[in-house]
Structure 1
């Protein structure tokens, strides 16, 4: 039996969480806001925290940050209850270190499955605790090593002569994960909708996609046509969640966002025979540079552009996902550090324009409990 603290300022939702989690055999303590919830966490050291985001006083993001800053409770798994329509508030604290999220309104099964996965991952009160601690220490060592290598790289770059206009301001990542997602069948959808209706659809997709990617700690976002390119780097990692897992969770979250938008369109435009709104996602890991571009006339900073073979391959892979019938397509490099935490259904060797050798890819379908 696990101890779970359920935090929400709405009594009905707290009661629903308590009912679902108690039915699963867990002991549940309730808190009506973030401050009360934080006090309970410090006092009782629960196995899991499930918290709403939008609460008076200390919101869910503030709560997660407070937990992560206290070494006694920093490893506590946290599931956030979010509403993707509350973008203005969510953008204040997307990169908070939460382990998972559920969008409101949620079903009892969604909460039950998310709690089971979080608890299984932590491996509470069993003989695997020592192994988990060892893995956390290794993850921390890898993170600290990465930080050292990036600092050393920056120092060397400052000493070397730099040619060009402003390239010294570029950010370079020895290994980051590039995620590219695009709308499938955009032209077919455009034929069925007016310009204003299509504009609303694209804005909803961009908004939902941006919220999902920021929620899972995207280092940078860049919109390309109707698609979105995101970069996940080690500098936003926590002891419990690395950038590889965050990238995969974001990719699966984009699929959920697309499904929700598809349901919205079918309801809004019932009888219009609209095609299903779908997205496919490509993931690849490797060196990436965030190039700082300047306006050629004024010299002012214009935009930041992710560049490199890693980015190009992620985009080209996404373009082949639909022909395979896949939603999330990832290279072996992208899954290197998370292979034991994700579920894959199929593998393929595909030809990519511009590359002399085929690329081995995997269909990613879910994050699995450990």
Structure 2
């Protein structure tokens, strides 16, 4: 049972939050200010902290700063609660290490969804601790913080000051006129997390991501990072792989990832017999086009971060999501299909609606390589 510390000086709101969380089966401790809440966090080491920003004695931002400075509790995820009128608090909270924020008045369905999402991420991070996978997940979580800031910048438009990354850092970006983006997502991760213990889930995470990492690097991946439960990889043409273009190498890697998922499924059957576990399944999106690896100078962590950006990346993520919903294992864009069509076996073709885009995404189901 997950333990949550909820902080809010408004007793009515705090009581509603606690009641909603307990109704979902969570164990909840409550505090009326940040100072008392921080004491509870240090004493009980909860799985999640939910905190209002404006509180007496110690506000939510000060509490967050103290939490992140304490190495014994700094990895605990934090969701901040604030109002849309307190936009500077939102920005300060996200750059200060918050994992998510919700605006008041609260929609309790959104609160429960955000809580479940952060607990899932925290579980994945804990299960991979002290391993090579842990390092990759830490990197992915840092990237997610930057992506969240970008989302909030766009949501609040010109009302939030400043844009990121700045023009001063753009000269250090790596720009590729034609690269291939691969995104693989473990679609059954949440279902497996419900059935397996943290130790068992850690074994599954090790098994897949060690296979996945070996596969993408075998085919010459240039950049790799974790995004949520998925893995984002960029392939570029280079001198040591000039006999096989980036599109075909990424295509072969995608097929290799499906094989890796099948090996993990066999691992589940052999190591957890009779458990009636969900199948270990992944889906893959492939797209090609212009990609920029943006170098982001991030003051909080002290080291630059690399973030793949551009429509090619966004379209790849959307294509994977839509194709997964359609039951496809691998979907490639029409752009990539033109480059590798003579080398592959294709299946269904479909125009996928893409929320937020002016036109549909044309996708083709990848079945295998032609002989």
Runs of 4+ with deviation above 6 angstroms: none
**1:285 and 2:283 equivalent?**
no
Q: CA shift at 1:269, angstroms?
A: 0.3
Write the mapping of 1:112-123 to structure 2, written as runs, cut at 5 A. Answer: none
**1:332 and 2:334 equivalent?**
yes
CA distance 1:164–1:357, change in 2 (3 Å): closer
Given that residues 292 and 301 in structure 1 are in contact (C-alpha distance below 8 angstroms), is that contact kept between their aligned partners in structure 2? no
Separation in 2, partners of 1:354, 1:291: 23
Q: SS at the partner of 1:285? A: strand
Q: SS at the partner of 2:318? A: helix
Given that residues 262 and 277 in structure 1 are in contact (C-alpha distance below 8 angstroms), is that contact kept between their aligned partners in structure 2? yes
**1:188 and 2:191 equivalent?**
yes
CA distance 1:164–1:239, change in 2 (3 Å): closer
Q: SS at the partner of 1:169? A: coil
Q: CA shift at 1:294, angstroms?
A: 2.1
Q: CA shift at 1:320, angstroms?
A: 1.6
**1:175 and 2:178 equivalent?**
yes
State the partner residue of 1:358.
360
Given that residues 202 and 226 in structure 1 are in contact (C-alpha distance below 8 angstroms), is that contact kept between their aligned partners in structure 2? no
Separation in 1, partners of 2:245, 2:349: 23
Separation in 1, partners of 2:209, 2:339: 29
Separation in 1, partners of 2:239, 2:264: 29
Separation in 2, partners of 1:345, 1:286: 22
Q: CA shift at 1:184, angstroms?
A: 1.3
State the partner residue of 1:21.
none
State the partner residue of 2:269.
266
CA distance 1:312–1:368, change in 2 (3 Å): same
State the partner residue of 2:346.
344
Separation in 2, partners of 1:192, 1:367: 35
Write the mapping of 1:210-249 to structure 2, written as runs, cut at 5 A. Answer: 210-235=213-238, 238-249=241-252
State the partner residue of 1:275.
278
State the partner residue of 1:316.
318
Given that residues 217 and 236 in structure 1 are in contact (C-alpha distance below 8 angstroms), is that contact kept between their aligned partners in structure 2? no
Separation in 1, partners of 2:195, 2:272: 10
State the partner residue of 2:18.
none
Alignment TM-score, normalising by the size of structure 1 = 0.54
Segments of structure 1 that go 5 or more residues without pairing to the other structure are: 1-87, 89-161
Q: CA shift at 1:302, angstroms?
A: 3.1
State the partner residue of 2:43.
none
State the partner residue of 2:257.
254
Render the CA deviation track for 1:169-225: whole Å, top value 9, x for unaligned: 110011111110000121111111011211221222221111100000111001101
Separation in 2, partners of 1:165, 1:203: 39
